[in-house]
Amino acid sequence: MSGEKEFNKLSVPNAKQDEFRKNLKEIKSGEYEVEQLNDGNKIIIKKPGKKGPDDFQVVLYDPKLNKGKPLSYEEIFSDIELKNKKDPKKTKALINGLNDVCKGKEPDNVIKERKIENITGLSADTLLKNLKWIWGQEDCNYKKGKGRWLSMDEINKKHGNEDKK
């Protein structure tokens, strides 16, 4: 694997909003590999981000290309929409799984417990694991706001989902 960048590995278990925020604020500046994905890609966080010392950037990193990029909400929402058009029933299971991750459950456990299947586009583990960290980043940046629930509530509303908080 010539050219593949090495990152310090960091494990921070998912948790409810306040606890996860507290644990993330303790992370020192640097670049960390926080998730290994089934397709060989990784999720990297870079701290600090642009919004202050508690901010960090979440990057989907492809070791084969030695490149990474953040996954935007536009890409995430579009991906969920494509999944819903292809298979609404499996998409509902995915959205219920997103709610579980938003409530603090670990993505791998949620995928297994809910038997979430890949539909089209981004894989379930890519989506759930990225959102775990994106939501943590939002919780750090928007302590007095809804944080993670701002986007999760939007997903629930758009897809008529009742399996919420």
Tens digits of residue pLDDT in 81-136 = 999 999 999 999 999 999 999 999 999 999 999 999 999 999 999 999 999 999 99
CB 45 within 8 A of CB 129: no
Distance CA 110, CA 53 (A): 31
CB 160 within 8 A of CB 80: no
pTM above 0.75, yes or no: yes
Q: Identify the sign of the CA torsion 29, 3, 37, 150.
A: positive
Distance CA 68, CA 152 (A): 24
